Chains A and B, each alone.
Chain A
Amino acid sequence: MAARTMFEKIWDAHVVHEEPGQPSLIYIDLHLVHEVTSPQAFDGLRMAGRQVRRPDLTVATADHNTPTWELTRPVEDQISKAQLDALDRNAAEFGLPMYYDRFSENQGIVHVIGPDLGYTLPGKTVVCGDSHTSTHGALGCFAVGIGTSEVEHVLATQTLRQFKPRTMEVRVDGELPSGVSAKDIILGIIGHMGVNGGTGHVIEYTGEAIRGLSMDGRMTVCNMSIEGGARAGMIAPDDTTFEYVRTRPYAPKGAELEAKIEEWRSLPTDPGATYDRTIVINAADLAPFVTWGTKPDMVAQITDRVPDPASFETTAEREAAERALEYMGLEPNQRIEDIKIDRVFLGACTNARIDDLRAAANVIRGRQVSSDVYAMVVPGSARVKAEAEAEGLDQVFKDAGFDWRVAGCSMCLGMNPDILDPGQRCASTSNRNFEGRQGKGGRTHLVSPEMAAAAAIAGHFTDVRNF
């Protein structure tokens, strides 16, 4: 057989039906469901008298609307509550055994719990009505975000109609410099290729710097693939992946797992297989990044300055930069380190895993949050929260003056009580700095957990390498 990429191997193994000129029918191994993009899909099933075809391959949780205050305090927004109640009802009516509501010990951000509980595994096809489904590709699977009509389609048929995407290799050569994190890798990549650089493609991240990342770091990289426009991101499974899977509660165990691991060893891209495009980045060129604008490709190194819109080549770029600076309340050529912040948000499906919390805790241990800053930590899942508490990380954060919250999407997207006030400026470990993303008029700067922690202490952005 001809040499194939990892994506092609997974795709080929899941084709149910193909006809020339039509999208392929692809079997879906894991469907993750949350409360925001599913109610209309369940309604569609009801109206057509259809069932969920494979409840055993469907995992549901509540994350976007859930407040991050204590669980004893009820959901106060009645419209949010109605949406959460709808998922309760739909999970019961359609018989979803793996539904984790707000109070479950397995609850959390859908892209945190999938891998953490052992549902996301190498070689699988994974979908979710959420663009950050790309996260799961870190385990060596093909994971795509879909819309609500497609959610309904997968619920009814366990398949997805897809035109085969093109492939793109993003290789990060060399060892990652000290003080530079997975978040900086992906911000650097997006800054390099732009917010539509990956459109129509599935990215496979390769190279020494990627291989050296923990699973949590790999998930951070794959998470933001969509911010570069890509359909999906993926990383070949290796011993790091297998060791991670070994300790997951719902992953296969014993002889079954060992047999699976042998199978998974054949997933990586064959020598000689070709990608439609390749981008190469040198890890040595990466540094801690901070976004200065309102799209994730508007990034600068911490030691740089806010760019002058006049320095951009095209009129469209100049106008976009001018508009971004106006919205962000920044001046051309202002030093990034001189930007003062009001809020710090450590959380979201990009950076709310245990490694992220440990990295931030290491920066703040024994220090105090600036009196001008309100800082919060929102673990990605109830399990991550419990793990962090068992290690005493909650105390490190609380001692430093951080607010320690209950798991959820929180201030990533402004649809639960955690939002910025107009004009407030936030150092955020989330993935989108769009206008109004964290609340109307809010100003978002995307950074790594380490950089967010350092900014919380300093009250402005600062180079964590000097901490």
Chain B
Amino acid sequence: MEPFVKLEGVVAPLDAVNVDTDMIIPAVYLKSIERTGFGQFLFDRYRYNEDRSENPDFLLNQDAYRSARILVSGPNFGCGSSREHAPWALEDYGIRCIIAPSFADIFFNNCFKNGVLPLILPEDDVRRIMDKAKDNPGFQLTVDLEGKQVRDSDEEIVVDFEVDEFRRYCLLNGLDDIGLTLQHEDAIAAFESR
């Protein structure tokens, strides 16, 4: 897993509540047995027209947001299915941080396994970032996981944040969970022989 230390990038404002995993990637695209290549299907139903041409109204098809690395959205982002294809699609597209007031549990968890930071900020701060990204297409933020701070270049937005320390440690170091768990193999074996 690619470590996540500090991310600087364009913010795409997806101003909606309860963005679900079927919106992020519809089930019809979950048939691949690979782990990569899902970025082309990110937000598929909204990004493309019937003939697969780009829908110019969709956020990520507008030049200012096309290269977005950060998505800001409303509460309960990622609700619905457990499909890890959702963070895979975001990551493959190039989005490595989602900022929202709250996330659905399974999606939240899946992000950390893939070097994607789901960042919970207070609703007011999310709104300020959303509005600034809407008013200034191409607006950039720095998400500093090491310093636990989000800021923009003119320091109009400076927000300190908290992330669970264990998850932060794994993200900063790009650590694979299975390796960590197998350090406790004796405890697992002992449990099994009870």
Determine if B106 and A131 form an interchain contact, defined as CB atoms under 8 angstroms apart: yes
Determine if B83 and A37 form an interchain contact, defined as CB atoms under 8 angstroms apart: yes
Q: Is B165 located at the chain interface by the 8 A CB criterion?
A: yes
**Residue of A65, A83, A199 touching B76 (CB-CB under 8 A):** A199
Q: Which residues of B contact A436 (CB under 8 A)?
A: 22-23, 26, 45
A437 to B28, CA, bound (A): 10
Nearest chain A CB to B52 CB, angstrom units: 12
Nearest chain B CB to A214 CB, angstrom units: 27
Count contacts on B: residues with CB < 8 A to the other chain: 47
Determine if B82 and A131 form an interchain contact, defined as CB atoms under 8 angstroms apart: yes
**Residue of A80, A195, A295 touching B31 (CB-CB under 8 A):** A80
Q: Which residues of B contact A158 (CB under 8 A)?
A: 188, 192
Determine if B82 and A16 form an interchain contact, defined as CB atoms under 8 angstroms apart: no
Determine if B81 and A131 form an interchain contact, defined as CB atoms under 8 angstroms apart: yes
Determine if B177 and A86 form an interchain contact, defined as CB atoms under 8 angstroms apart: no
Q: Which residues of A contact B75 (CB under 8 A)?
A: 196
Nearest chain B CB to A446 CB, angstrom units: 14
Q: Which residues of B contact A413 (CB under 8 A)?
A: 22, 27, 81
**Residue of A27, A40, A163 touching B35 (CB-CB under 8 A):** A40
Determine if A146 and B23 form an interchain contact, defined as CB atoms under 8 angstroms apart: no
**Residue of B20, B76, B81, B166 touching A22 (CB-CB under 8 A):** B166
Interface residues of B in 9-36 (CB under 8 A from A): 16-18, 20, 22-23, 26-28, 30-35
Q: Is B117 located at the chain interface by the 8 A CB criterion?
A: no
Q: Is A414 located at the chain interface by the 8 A CB criterion?
A: yes
Q: Is B140 located at the chain interface by the 8 A CB criterion?
A: no
Nearest chain B CB to A437 CB, angstrom units: 5
Determine if B31 and A157 form an interchain contact, defined as CB atoms under 8 angstroms apart: no
- Given A16-B188, A196-B75, decide whether A153 and B178 contact each other with a Cβ distance below 8 A: yes
Q: Which residues of B contact A77 (CB under 8 A)?
A: 31
Q: Is A440 located at the chain interface by the 8 A CB criterion?
A: yes
Q: Is A432 located at the chain interface by the 8 A CB criterion?
A: yes
Determine if A196 and B31 form an interchain contact, defined as CB atoms under 8 angstroms apart: no
A436 to B81, CA, bound (A): 14
**Closest 3 interchain pairs by CB?**
A149-B113, A39-B33, A147-B110
Extra inter-chain contacts (12) besides given A21-B165, A157-B185, CB under 8 Å: A27-B188, A40-B84, A82-B33, A129-B84, A145-B82, A147-B110, A150-B113, A163-B164, A320-B18, A413-B27, A415-B30, A435-B23
